[in-house]
Amino acid sequence: MVLLLTAVLCLSLLSLLLALLRGRSKHTRPLPPGPRPWPVVGNLLNLFLLQRRLRQPPHAVLAAVARAYGPLVYLRLGARSVVVASSPSAASQVLTARDRELSGRYIPATFRISVYTEYSFPWAAHCDDHWRWLRALCKRDIFSIGRVEGHAGLREGKAREMVELLLRRQGEEINVGELVFRTIFNMLGNMLFSRDVIATAGEERGVKSDGSWNLNKVMSRNLQLGIMPNLEDFYAAVFGGLDLQGLRREARKNLEMIYEVFDGVIRERRVEMEEGTGGEEVDGKEDFLKVLLDAGCEDVQLKALFLDIFTAGTDTSTKLVEWTMSELIKNPHVMAQLREELQRVVGSPDRGTTAVRESHLAHLPYLQACIKETLRLHPPVPMLLPHRAVEACEVMGYEVPSDCTVIVNVWAIGRDPEVWKDPLRFQPERFLEACSVDYKGMDFEFVPFGAGRRICPGLPVAARVAPLVVASMVHGFEWCLPGGMGADRLGMGERLGLVLEREQPLVLVPKSINAMAE
């Protein structure tokens, strides 16, 4: 039996190899340069050996490949064709010039779960009518400028609650990621549902309080699963649908736990609407859940969309705040300059009662520069979600084959010495002094949120949430590492995932500036 299975597998791989060799002769233009692929495994072996040597995550490994072969690289990962863009000019071609041909989405095999990807916005395989309806709905009813500005007081209230918690816990060790995740999750929860989703004690609504799972960890784990090597992605013709590694099973289990939280919120709202009670307004306006229910959306549609919004809005912003605070700890002169700007614009903190407001953000250029510099060095999504060529096209004189996966490595662009001077140095000043580079999708040396039709729709919220949270944390508190550890000992290692995580959680100790003055 084992010999029979081995023979079948070998014949399958041989047929794949012959198909690949036949396919290469059909290209009318040359493919982008890249390392010579090995039989059957393609460039998987090259990348594996390079990763072992560099001991770095995938985005850094692909950046090293780009330094060797150029800004547009072709790779064969098993039976899968992949093109990686690692320069502003290449990103411009992929994200805008060839936006229509490259507008498809490659969905990792791990995430091919019908109750999610069939209704997902960012993981929609095509920019079809359903995708356009979702985009219009989000732009009109949650991410429009009017809606975002109308929720400013709500976000400020959650930031004040965070500050009050820090005042109560000053001198204690704080897991910055967990604190910020809870704060931002409840900001979004109130925008969408008019209520907190995570209780202030840290227990998730609708979930047993036995500590059996944690929403933050489950969502982060799902993002890690999405980028783990999966045989189905490399050899779909042989392993498609088998889930031999169990990655999709784990992702589905995590998805069910997350959906359970949203189930409780949706059920409660339906009861409230039937009874004619409240719970459906934010600042006197209908919240997003009420809008969707009135539009006749089914529960499975609601849960998939909420997962998209909370994942994109919470995980990315949480990691951005965590990396910003890490860089401020590593660079105390930057922290001091930022605090001086905050006290000049906001006023001296008075036992937490002088709060940062969103109206202050436009008058805090150094804060904005710190956020931009963090986005350059530590983009929340180091490689934009993978595009897919819906038809063959030409990019920079090379052919991108139909159905090819196309990745934009924004992490590599942000650290390119040909684009940025002294790129590994945290220097917010580079975004001051008449620097017009911004992250809104027009400057391709700086596209942490993407560009073109697949640009992150939640950018207007992200542009307010992360600066507000960072400003609130820095304005009234001094921060230090536990046990008197020096800033030079703070590790800045990165961990594998769709979202760029710290290798080790950031744990800091806050102390009120007013308490220090006393």
Angle formed by the axes of helices 459-475 and 365-377, to 10°? 110
Region of 348 (left: φ > 0; alpha: ψ -120 to 50; beta: rest) is beta
**At a CB cut-off of 8 Å and minimum separation 6, what does 166 contact?**
174, 179, 473, 477, 510, 512
Which of these, 308, 309, 257, lies nearest to 117 by C-alpha position? 308
Reported residue count of the chain is 518
Residues of each annotated binding site: 456
Q: Show the tokens assigned to 453.
A: 């039709």
SS (H, E, C) 55-77: CCCHHHHHHHHHHHHCCEEEEEE
* Local structure of residue 244 (DSSP, 8 states): T
Residues of each annotated binding site for heme: 456
Number of structural domains, the chain?
Answer: 1
Strand spans (E) along 224-300: 281-282, 285-286
Q: Show the tokens assigned to 508.
A: 């800091």
What are the backbone dihedrals phi and psi of residue 104, each rounded to the nearest 5 degrees, phi first? -70, 170
pLDDT in tens, the chain (518 residues): 333 344 434 434 544 554 444 444 455 789 999 999 999 999 999 999 999 999 999 999 999 999 999 999 999 999 999 999 999 999 999 999 999 999 999 999 999 999 999 999 999 999 999 899 888 888 888 888 888 898 999 999 999 999 999 999 999 999 999 999 999 999 999 988 888 888 644 444 444 333 334 788 888 888 889 889 999 999 999 999 899 999 999 999 999 999 998 998 999 898 888 877 655 554 445 788 988 888 888 999 999 999 999 988 899 999 999 999 999 999 999 999 999 999 999 998 765 456 899 999 999 999 999 999 999 999 999 999 999 999 999 999 999 999 999 999 999 999 999 999 999 999 999 999 767 888 999 999 999 999 999 999 888 999 999 999 999 999 989 999 999 899 999 999 998 778 999 999 999 999 998 755 44
SS (H, E, C) 302-371: HHHHHHHHHHHHHHHHHHHHHHHHHHHHHCHHHHHHHHHHHHHHCCCCCCCCCCCCHHHHHHCHHHHHHH
Residue numbers of the domain that contains 331 = 2-517
List Cα–Cα distances, 207 to 265, 305, 386, in angstroms: 12, 20, 33
| 3-class DSSP state of 380 | coil
Which of these, 87, 9, 88, 73, lies nearest to 36 by C-alpha position? 73
CATH of the domain at 365: 1.10.630.10
